Amino acid sequence: MTGNTLFIYPRRGLYLITRCSNCNHTYQCNNCDANLVTYKKWEKNLELVCHQCQSYYSYPTQCENCGENGISSFIGGIDKLAQEIKTITDVEPTRLDNKRLKPDFSKKDHPFVTTRVYDPAIDYSVMSKVILIAADNLLSSPDYMVMEETIKNLTELILATPQTSNIIFDTKDLENEFFTKVVSICNQPSSTYKEVLNWYREFLTSESNIRDKYGFPPYKNLILVTSQLKNRQKSIDNINDFKRILDRYRLEKFPEISVSSSYPARFLRRKNHYSYHLLIKYPKQYKNFFNLRNVIKNEASRIGLQVRLNPKNLF
């Protein structure tokens, strides 16, 4: 390995999936149904961790579904990547996403690894290569601002990395217009700061037009109302009762707002509760917001619903 290399892989943990090879049972959180991530607890001990609700479990010795012993974990995360790099280079890579450790950027011909696409604490000027592993995963977040935040981070990464450095964007999805554009920029060492910033500006203009069309922030405010109960049918009934009440108020007092149909949360079951959402949109600088807020607050409190203003995650 010649020169310092930074490996970016936004996947935490040792393995992302744990499954029984006999019956294909996949281990998921008992509280929210998210797939469990394998972590190295001690030198030889493993545990399963839920990134959604922070529950954790002992690593299974036999399948809870069929009783067989064929438990295996696969699809490596950042911890597995660090192990592989050490095996290949015989050098312990420096973790840059561990705030407890102060990295030494004076090292030569050294590997660095991080889960963060861009981090202002990293000295990118010492990197000869920057490799984004499995870059297709960058857009896998349910956050509706994921594209904007990803492009912002990539723009900052490209601008912070010297033009003499090689940025390798690892993707198989070359039919995707976004990935095609990023690959073309990374493959042109002569790309100027102006060209990169123009690309970022063009995206923001396009994104702004889409948000204007569909009434998402910054053109409208959002209120997310959630019903979360152990009884699934009761959770559905509560959110639908709230919708009927709000629709009546909308027709009588708040014609400017819009109310979605109820829909299940991305993780329907979370901490043994079933969650359903309702999305409300209202204009910026809404003159009747005080009255709208009181109606939502009072009715949601009476039924027992959660209310969030302008959340990033709507699913």
55: Cα separation from own chain's centroid:
18
pLDDT of residue 13: 94
Residue 230 domain flag: yes
Residue 117 domain flag: no
Mean pLDDT (whole number) for 242-268 = 95
Say what the alpha-carbon torsion angle 149, 154, 156, 162 is, to the nearest 10 degrees. Answer: 170
Domain encompassing residue 272: 220-309
For 122-137, how does the pLDDT look when each residue is reduced to its tens digit (9 = 90+)?
Answer: 999 999 999 999 888 8
For 138-192, how does the pLDDT look when each residue is reduced to its tens digit (9 = 90+)?
Answer: 888 878 889 899 999 999 999 999 888 899 988 887 777 888 888 888 877 666 7
Residue 235 domain flag: yes
Residue 98 domain flag: no
Domain count, the chain: 1
Residue 145 domain flag: no
Mean pLDDT (whole number) for 252-263 = 96
Residue 258 domain flag: yes
Residue 105 domain flag: no
Residue 39 domain flag: no
pLDDT at 53 over 90: no
pTM of the full predicted structure? 0.86
pLDDT at 87 over 90: yes
* Greater pLDDT, 276 or 2: 276
- Amino acid (1-letter code) at residue 299: E
Say what the alpha-carbon torsion angle 154, 158, 161, 166 is, to the nearest 10 degrees. Answer: 100
Residue 25 pLDDT level (bands cut at 50, 70, 90): very high
Do the Cβ atoms of 63 and 20 come closer than 8 Å? Answer: yes
pLDDT of residue 268: 84
pLDDT of residue 295: 97
CATH number at residue 283: 3.30.70.260
Mean pLDDT (whole number) for 275-291 = 95
